[in-house]
């Protein structure tokens, strides 16, 4: 086994790992980053062509895992490549609301976060500048902000405007949603040209962290090791994290030691890594003396409804969501049923190539069918809040093994309980009302409640070391110098896409490491 060292070792090159690395490298800290995958394909246009067909455009070896419970996909956004989830994300970046940080205090359900919205707010601003967020301050339910968005928002599309006007007649307010894509050239990256294939933005208008890492690679105090898969963390005599052991592409084991270690991978892998890192001091897994590692795994149950309308709404010209409503999120009966974020999809109904690929026609008949089917749909969707449950957990499989021989993750998970099912019914009723107001036909649930690819919980933060894995600065209670970043730290799910908040927490963690915060 060969060994090297750095001040800080970061495992994972997704947006959270990249943000942490950025903050530390800027402060002159020596950083070494481990990434299990390779660099993404340089020909982003070829990737875009795959995305035009609605396929997952990247090819990568998926995380193996053993599943018990509701059948959901854990690999959709857990991309094993430089850039991680940011290679396939939608770039929707709303802030959590103040109430999301105090769910237990305000409603008596779920859990409070160990920090308030006000404490995180300056880091939200930094995260928005870092990712490059376009947005407008037209959300009446948004919590106060101290800075304007770095860029103006994108205009609403035909579908948004149609839904907005229909919803207005029902007293529902539709407003813009912030996104991590450039509405104007920003940070040396392109402005969005509406290629409409955001999961493979060919021009870098959508933030992806591989570009951040590429910039960091020019810095003398940053090193990147690709195809280096962390397999366990070893501790020293004092109980502090000391070495990250990883295997290279050939399967050879190496180790890198660091004064601090940050795990910035998705929650399933973080929990698995901790659980396999057993020692005499931590017989149940690293930082798991209280048995909390892997517990309270969370997702956002999402569903979509679709209806046919008379006019063509010219979809697939933008590719991303530009309208939403928080009216049904922080509702007065949030203790009884889940709130949800209502959204309007721009890519509604099948695209031109999707129609062609699913039709049994050809020639002029197919052309006529495409013109007839395309664009006459409205799709509404919702992300619901999921309550944390201790039995929704990540453990170790007794059967499956990784390439290095370690147990794969075992997931025990139920997406919906009564709380979430009632939330689904309420939001469905709201959507049906909007479809009625639109005069839509053939209204149906397009995607029944399923997961969103928003992996949260599993190493939740909290003030109480008995019921949480890390403190509010993401440092584990039991192993000082070991930090667990990412959505896995969230004690509750809220209804927002988690990346912006994860990045804001990462910047707060970095400030803590640098001694800049209390």
Partner 1 sequence: MNQSLSSRLRAFLEPAVARAAPTGVLSDAEHRTVHALFEALTGDDQYPPALLRRHVERRTAEDGGYLEECRAGLALLRRAMEREWLAGEFVDLTHGERDRVLRRILRSYPHEEKNAWWRRRLRLTSENLDLVAGRLWRRAVRRFRVVVVRDLLEHYYTGPSGWAVVGYREFPGRVRSESEPCKVLGFRIEGDSVVLELSDSTYETLDPRNLELDEGGALVVTTKSSRQRAGFSHAAQHAIGELLQEDEHGGLSLMIGSVRHEVFRDGE
User: Which strands form 407-413's sheet, in the order they lie side by side?
Assistant: 65-69, 407-413, 393-401
Coil, helix or strand for 422? helix
432 binds partner 1 (CB under 8 A): no
Question: How many residues would you count in the chain?
Answer: 518
Given the complex with partner 1, which of 99 and 351 has the nearer CB atom? 351
Q: Write down the least CB distance from residue 137 to partner 1, Å.
A: 24
* HEC letters along 372-398: HHCCCEEEEEEEECCCCCCCCEEEEEE
The stretch near partner 1 (CB under 8 A) out of 200-208, 236-244, 274-282, 420-428 is 200-208
Site string for partner 1, 271-310 (x = CB under 8 A): ----------------------------------------
Given the complex with partner 1, which of 375 and 462 has the nearer CB atom? 375
Report the Cα 438 to chain-centroid distance in Å.
32
Nearest Cα to 122, choosing from 130, 110, 114? 130
Given the complex with partner 1, which of 3 and 46 has the nearer CB atom? 46
Distance separating alpha carbons of residues 456 and 301, to the nearest angstrom: 12
The stretch near partner 1 (CB under 8 A) out of 19-27, 65-73, 156-164, 249-257 is 65-73
Which positions from 304 through 323 interact with partner 1, judged by CB under 8 A?
312, 317
Based on the number of CB atoms within 10 Å of its own CB, is 171 exposed (0-12), middle (13-18) or buried (19 or more)?
exposed
Q: Write down the least CB distance from residue 442 to partner 1, Å.
A: 6
The answer to whether the Cα torsion of 144, 148, 154, 155 is positive or negative is positive
Residue from 3, 26, 28, 43 binding partner 1 (CB under 8 A): 43
Residue from 231, 355, 431, 509 binding partner 1 (CB under 8 A): 355
Distance separating alpha carbons of residues 83 and 12, to the nearest angstrom: 8
Q: What string of DSSP letters covers 145-208?
A: -SS--SBPPPPP-HHHHHHHHHHHHTTPPPEE--BSB-SS-BTTBPPP---S-GGG-SSS-B--
Residue from 122, 141, 194, 422 binding partner 1 (CB under 8 A): 194
Q: Write down the least CB distance from residue 177 to partner 1, Å.
A: 20
Q: Write down the least CB distance from residue 510 to partner 1, Å.
A: 24
Q: Write down the least CB distance from residue 197 to partner 1, Å.
A: 7
Pairing status of strand 229-235 against strand 340-345: unpaired
Distance separating alpha carbons of residues 295 and 272, to the nearest angstrom: 11
Residue from 98, 366, 446, 514 binding partner 1 (CB under 8 A): 366
120: left (phi over 0), alpha (psi -120 to 50) or beta: alpha
Nearest Cα to 233, choosing from 275, 205, 171? 275
Are 297 and 72 in contact by the 8 Å Cβ rule? The answer is: no
Please tell me the count of residues contacting partner 1 according to CB under 8 A: 60
Residue from 65, 117, 419, 455 binding partner 1 (CB under 8 A): 65
Residue from 52, 88, 163, 415 binding partner 1 (CB under 8 A): 52
Given the complex with partner 1, which of 165 and 372 has the nearer CB atom? 372
350 binds partner 1 (CB under 8 A): yes
Residues 6+ apart with CB under 8 A from 487: 266, 267, 454, 455, 456, 457, 498, 499, 501, 502
371 binds partner 1 (CB under 8 A): yes
Distance separating alpha carbons of residues 291 and 418, to the nearest angstrom: 26
Question: What are the Cα distances from residue 494, in Å, to 49, 85, 363, 517?
Answer: 34, 20, 48, 26
Residue from 364, 405, 429, 515 binding partner 1 (CB under 8 A): 364
Site string for partner 1, 228-267 (x = CB under 8 A): ----------------------------------------
407 binds partner 1 (CB under 8 A): no
Given the complex with partner 1, which of 285 and 350 has the nearer CB atom? 350
Q: Write down the least CB distance from residue 485 to partner 1, Å.
A: 25
45 binds partner 1 (CB under 8 A): yes
The binding site for partner 1 (CB under 8 A) comprises 42-46, 48-49, 52-53, 65-67, 71-75, 184-185, 188-191, 193-197, 202-205, 218, 312, 317, 349-350, 352-353, 355-367, 369-375, 442
């Amino acid at each position: 086994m060969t060994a090297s060292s750095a001040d800080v070792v970061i495992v994972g090159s997704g947006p959270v790992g990249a943000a942490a690395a950025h903050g530390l490298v800027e402060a002159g800290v020596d950083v070494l980053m481990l990434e299990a995958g390779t660099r993404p394909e340089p020909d982003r246009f070829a990737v875009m062509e795959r995305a035009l067909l609605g396929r997952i455009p990247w090819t990568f070896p998926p995380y193996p895992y053993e599943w018990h419970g509701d059948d959901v996909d854990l690999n959709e956004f857990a991309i094993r490549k430089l850039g991680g989830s940011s290679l396939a994300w939608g770039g929707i970046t709303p802030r959590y609301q103040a109430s999301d940080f105090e769910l237990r205090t305000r409603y008596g359900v779920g859990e409070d976060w160990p920090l308030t919205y006000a404490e995180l707010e300056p880091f939200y601003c930094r995260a928005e500048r870092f990712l490059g967020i376009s947005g407008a301050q037209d959300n009446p339910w948004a919590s106060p902000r101290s800075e304007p968005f770095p860029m103006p928002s994108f205009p609403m599309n035909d579908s948004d405007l149609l839904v907005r006007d229909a919803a207005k007649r029902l007293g529902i307010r539709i407003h813009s949603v912030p996104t991590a894509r450039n509405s104007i050239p920003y940070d040396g990256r392109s402005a969005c040209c509406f290629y409409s294939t955001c999961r493979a933005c060919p021009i870098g208008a959508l933030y992806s962290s591989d570009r951040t890492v590429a910039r960091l690679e020019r810095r003398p105090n940053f090193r990147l090791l690709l195809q280096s898969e962390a397999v366990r963390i070893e501790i020293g005599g004092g109980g502090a994290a000391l070495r990250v052991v990883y295997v290279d592409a050939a399967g050879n084991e190496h180790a890198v030691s660091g004064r601090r270690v940050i795990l910035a991978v998705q929650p399933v892998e973080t929990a698995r890594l901790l659980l396999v890192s057993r020692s005499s001091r931590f017989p149940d897994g690293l930082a798991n003396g209280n048995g909390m590692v892997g517990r309270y795994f969370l997702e956002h149950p999402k569903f979509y409804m679709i209806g046919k309308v008379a006019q063509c709404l010219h979809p697939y010209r933008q590719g991303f969501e530009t309208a939403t409503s928080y009216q049904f999120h922080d509702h007065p009966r949030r203790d009884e049923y889940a709130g949800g974020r209502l959204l309007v999809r721009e890519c509604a109904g099948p695209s031109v190539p999707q129609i062609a690929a699913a039709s049994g026609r050809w020639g002029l008949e197919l052309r006529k069918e495409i013109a007839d089917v395309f664009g006459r749909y409205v799709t509404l969707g919702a992300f619901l809040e999921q309550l944390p449950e201790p039995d929704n957990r990540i453990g170790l499989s007794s059967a499956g093994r990784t390439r290095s021989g370690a147990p794969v993750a075992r997931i025990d998970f139920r997406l919906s309980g009564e709380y979430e099912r009632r939330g689904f019914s309420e939001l469905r009723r709201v959507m049906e009302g909007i479809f009625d107001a639109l005069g839509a036909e053939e209204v149906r649930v397009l995607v029944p409640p399923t997961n969103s690819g928003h992996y949260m919980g599993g190493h939740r933060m909290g003030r109480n070391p008995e019921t949480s894995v890390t403190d509010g600065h993401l440092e584990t209670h039991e192993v000082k110098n070991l930090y667990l970043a990412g959505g896995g730290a969230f004690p509750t799910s809220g209804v927002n896409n988690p990346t912006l908040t994860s990045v804001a927490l990462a910047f707060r963690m970095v400030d803590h490491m640098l001694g800049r915060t209390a």
